[in-house]
Structure 1
């Protein structure tokens, strides 16, 4: 993705975040209605089954209208409505996904509080089909609150201590849970008010958000983390690509630089070193602590009558002669010898001295090779070379060595050309043993 698109993504994500936060309260809610038409069973109960005197009876069962006559007796007075979701074996409903109960209950009587209870089945602490063992949650609602529909948060329900004590429930199982509701109860809360009480369950439903605020906020955070992670990864990938491009560019520049260095050190016609290249190799020799300049001899070579070759055969053929001359010399010298074109038809060789007179032998090989082989494609051009040789001694500089070799070259020219003139070095040179 192009960098300029990231701002568009961020702005779009920010706008969507604001819209979702403000719209969350207006999202439609999911509901679960509790009424006889929705496979729900209403059952009235009282303490009469355990020896009490209280009575519960329907006024109109279809409309959920009943009355309780709470009478004091030797047993705990109970009278109310139980709502279950099937006959035995009991079925359960999962109310964990709902966050509130909306209750519309009409009440007539002197009681101040009505208790709403929820029984939850869990095999860890409940006996199957024995509702009394299901976890008992309850919340008390003031009768003065029942004048209109009342919303009860699921967080308001708490687990009864008497139920936990009766069944020895550990703390790990003592918290509210609504994943297996097996029944709902409506009855008078303590303190009991004896007498007649009339109830009418107009409606009861569980409500919840399709997308809760917590889920929405977590989703928004995850979304932003994804965007930031995507941008971070994209940035790292771009940096990697840029680094690779820079490395490739740098490598190309280094190759180009080496190419230009080589070109700057090489004679373009003959392919041998030029003056600059020769100077660089001289610097390496000067830094060699084992064998410096006094271990070398200098050969200065000049093609005889080269101007005549250019005048008679043309400058193109003159270039051919120079190139072929350099190639033939290169086949004779050794790898450690330094061969360079000094200018025009003049070349120099800095040759490692191996023994007394070895520099003369090398120069004579070159002279003979040039003399015996003609030049040009048709081998019609005859050329010879004059060579001045100077053997170095301790304390000589390159200028000293070149001056002596150049003088010997001109001596060879004056003496008729096509010859080698040299001055030999001493029989023993300090720091450059025989045989080197």
Structure 2
């Protein structure tokens, strides 16, 4: 089925499809990844260091559930971690999860202690500079959550995560390596910053769920706009091509008919009283043709006559109506006029019959002109209520030599036309009584 916005059915179908896509995007369930769900991540692991003297305390308050932890450092340590980490990589520490398809992370946690912030952090392994045996070389992203923000479950947009200055200064990499990116995240962590000896911190992480869209709304909206623009462009191009072809074809016919009409207007002024113009087709009528034939005969220069009769014209009138039959007569007149010289005489002899008089022609040349006209008539594009109307014509050609009788030449052209009809129509027959191919006197 060809999609064309110019038809009401296609336009309605396009609108319905657009609405269905928009509704589908809105109704599509969110894409989720529960970091605490089975098989998603390893851990959680406590952030701690070896403590041979057992003076540093970082332990689970609920070892079975591993949701609540307590930090209490009694002395200053090289690293004083207080938090938990979910590891997203498997056996290969360089292969994590692509989190770029998610928009946000929902966190449900609580904190008791002196720290003004709780930090959410994600590490992303970048093979351009990260090393599998050094977890700190994975690019660090973080955002600080204020205590008043975490009193209830909080939604954190992933674009809030930034690469902190301390990590940039520590690794001193090129600027393009310091841009945030979560295409290969290897861990997600919740921890407390600015931990001091003697302080007690209690942290409970009840839920961490990543959320996103299966299909980006922006991409869907852009796709819809592009699809409509493409459909409109194709429709406009197709329509313009059809109009251009029709315009070029009709322009040639109209130009020829305009030139013919201009010439006829001059003649019309001279012969206005004789009413020599056929009102339907705009070419000479029988009286005008007879006047012109008399003038050519008086000039005694000789001429060739081509009699044209539209095949099965009565059938066209019966099947398509007289209005369409009149259109056929007008179009055939235009087609013939477009393929004649300005000096040739052309008019409607009567009914569906037309006559062409060519001064100073060989009969062979006239037959060639008639064959050209036959092809043009057969190729003419005439639209009817049920589609294209096929139109053909039969031709009879005869020579009126210098000083010869035009009436006699007309009879011989009519006889040749009759033979063309008898031989199957849509053909050219020449007068058999005069086959001389010598040029007439001009």
Structure 1 length normalisation: TM-score?
Answer: 0.56
User: In the alignment, is residue 84 of structure 1 matched against residue 188 of structure 2?
Assistant: no
Q: What is aligned with 1:43? A: 45
User: In the alignment, is residue 101 of structure 1 matched against residue 105 of structure 2?
Assistant: yes
- Report the Cα offset of residue 193 of structure 1: 8.8
Q: What is aligned with 2:290? A: none
- Report the Cα offset of residue 121 of structure 1: 0.2
Alignment CA distance shift 1:156-1:51 (3 Å): farther
Q: In the alignment, which of 217, 220, 223 is matched to residue 221 of structure 2? A: 217
- Report the Cα offset of residue 158 of structure 1: 0.3
Structure-to-structure mapping, 1:57-76, within 5 angstroms = 57-63=59-65, 64-71=67-74, 73=76, 75=78
Structure-to-structure mapping, 1:252-263, within 5 angstroms = 253=333, 255-257=335-337
Alignment CA distance shift 1:88-1:277 (3 Å): closer
- Report the Cα offset of residue 179 of structure 1: 0.7
User: In the alignment, is residue 121 of structure 1 matched against residue 125 of structure 2?
Assistant: yes
| Worse-superposed segment, 199-208 or 2-11 | 2-11
Contact 1:43 1:82 in 2 (8 A): yes
Contact 1:126 1:134 in 2 (8 A): yes
- Report the Cα offset of residue 262 of structure 1: 6.0
Contact 2:83 2:203 in 1 (8 A): no
Distance 1:246 1:23 in 2: 49
Distance 1:16 1:187 in 2: 48
Aligned length: 297
Distance 2:52 2:12 in 1: 69
Contact 2:106 2:211 in 1 (8 A): yes
1:368-405 deviation per Cα after TM superposition (whole angstroms, max 9, x unaligned) = xxxxxxxxxxxxxxxxxxxxxxxxxxxxxxxxxxxxxx
Contact 1:110 1:193 in 2 (8 A): no
Distance 2:35 2:88 in 1: 9
- Report the Cα offset of residue 239 of structure 1: 2.1
Distance 2:64 2:22 in 1: 42
User: In the alignment, is residue 337 of structure 1 matched against residue 441 of structure 2?
Assistant: yes
- Report the Cα offset of residue 44 of structure 1: 0.7
Aligned CA-pair RMSD: 4.4
Find the structure with the greater CA-based Rg: 1
Q: What is aligned with 2:156? A: 152
Distance 1:198 1:92 in 2: 29
- Report the Cα offset of residue 31 of structure 1: 0.7
Distance 1:165 1:141 in 2: 23
Contact 2:57 2:73 in 1 (8 A): yes
Contact 1:108 1:197 in 2 (8 A): yes
- Report the Cα offset of residue 62 of structure 1: 3.8
Paired residue secondary structure (1:162): helix
Q: What is aligned with 1:348? A: none
Paired residue secondary structure (1:75): coil
Which runs of 5 or more structure 2 residues have no equivalent in the other structure? 257-331, 350-354, 363-400, 406-410, 416-430
Contact 1:69 1:194 in 2 (8 A): yes
Alignment CA distance shift 1:277-1:247 (3 Å): closer
1:106-154 deviation per Cα after TM superposition (whole angstroms, max 9, x unaligned) = 3233332100110000110100242111001001112222232211000
Alignment CA distance shift 1:70-1:117 (3 Å): farther
Structure 2 length normalisation: TM-score?
Answer: 0.56
Contact 1:52 1:77 in 2 (8 A): no
- Report the Cα offset of residue 169 of structure 1: 1.5
1:244-272 deviation per Cα after TM superposition (whole angstroms, max 9, x unaligned) = 6637966965552357986759x9xxxxx
Paired residue secondary structure (1:144): helix
- Report the Cα offset of residue 95 of structure 1: 0.2
Structure-to-structure mapping, 1:228-267, within 5 angstroms = 228-243=232-247, 246=250, 253=333, 255-257=335-337, 264=346
- Report the Cα offset of residue 335 of structure 1: 1.7
Structure-to-structure mapping, 1:263-342, within 5 angstroms = 264=346, 331=436, 335-338=439-442
